[in-house]
């Protein structure tokens, strides 16, 4: 895991508030690397917070 719990909680809050569960959004708003943003989004998917739709886009569960 490349991120800490505080970063994860902040990312979840931002995604929920802005309804924008994308890697690029998390990367840009949190000013983190692509790898960290990807890890955060993947963790949200594992936790059932977001789901991947057909076409590879995510939405809030």
- pLDDT tens readout for residues 3-40: 999 999 999 999 999 999 999 999 999 999 999 999 99
Please tell me the predicted confidence (pLDDT) of residue 22. 97
Domains of the chain: which residue ranges?
Answer: 5-60
Please tell me the predicted confidence (pLDDT) of residue 6. 97
Burial class (CB in 10 A: 0-12, 13-18, 19+), 56: exposed
Please tell me the predicted confidence (pLDDT) of residue 44. 98
Contacts of 21 by beta carbon, 8 Å cutoff, 6+ apart: 15, 41, 44, 50, 58, 59, 60
Please tell me the predicted confidence (pLDDT) of residue 56. 87
Tell me if residue 52 falls in helix, strand or coil.
strand
Residue 29: CB atoms within 10 A of its CB come to 15
Q: Provide the CATH number for the domain formed by 5-60 in this structure.
A: 1.10.10.10
pLDDT for 1 beyond 90: no
């Amino acid at each position: 895991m490349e991120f800490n719990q505080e970063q994860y909680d902040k990312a979840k809050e931002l995604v929920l508030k802005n309804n924008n569960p994308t890697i690029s959004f998390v990367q840009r708003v949190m000013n983190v690397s692509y790898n960290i943003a990807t890890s955060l989004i993947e963790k949200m998917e594992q936790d059932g917070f977001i789901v991947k739709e057909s076409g590879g886009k995510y939405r809030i569960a």
